[in-house]
Amino acid sequence: MSSLEEHLLVRKIDMGTVIDHIPPWKAENVLRLLELDRIKRSECSLIVLHNVPSRKYSRKDIIKIYRHYISHEEADIICLVYPTITVNYIRDWRVEKYKPKIPEKIIGRIRCPEPTCISNSPREPIKSRFRVIGELRAIQCEYCDTLVEFERIADLVIRKEGVLNG
């Protein structure tokens, strides 16, 4: 195998976000955590690489989002589930690295799985509120005390209204 064949043949991007060091075969969960459905699809491109070689972790997934920048808050929520990720913001070919950190609280982004929680009531205009309990690898609802393991967060992301189609 030539050295050219050993490297990924995916074009570099000049602007956008690269999410790196995702555990192998977990990129779809990361995409669920992101709110990419709220942007015009005609304005960005998405490249998902699965199970690629990694010197540091043996294998990894990578997500490249051309012409879109994820927020630090979104990166921090992904970090709860996959603490190994790194985020690179690319502007005019220049890379700015961001190492996401585990947030202390998550407000209005995760739905409480407890159906009777007040944050799930359509009559109550309140946002869900979770505090992060790192030693348990869980988040806890501040209203009903329900615990949610980090691994389940991707299934509980609140989708915002106003989906744009491109």
End-to-end CA distance of the chain: 41
pLDDT in tens, 101-145: 989 999 998 999 999 999 999 998 899 999 999 888 899 999 999
Tell me what the pLDDT averaged over the chain comes to. Answer: 86
Q: How many CA atoms lie within 13 A of 103 on its CB side?
A: 18
Question: In this structure, what is the dihedral angle of CA atoms 65, 163, 28, 44, given to the nearest 10 degrees?
Answer: -20
Between CA 26 and CA 153 the distance in angstroms is 13
pLDDT digits (tens, 9 = 90+) for 83-103: 899 999 999 999 999 999 989
- Helix, coil or strand: residue 52: strand
- Residue 81: closest CA among 33, 36, 146, 20: 33
Residue 39 and residue 134: Cα distance in Å, rounded?
Answer: 32
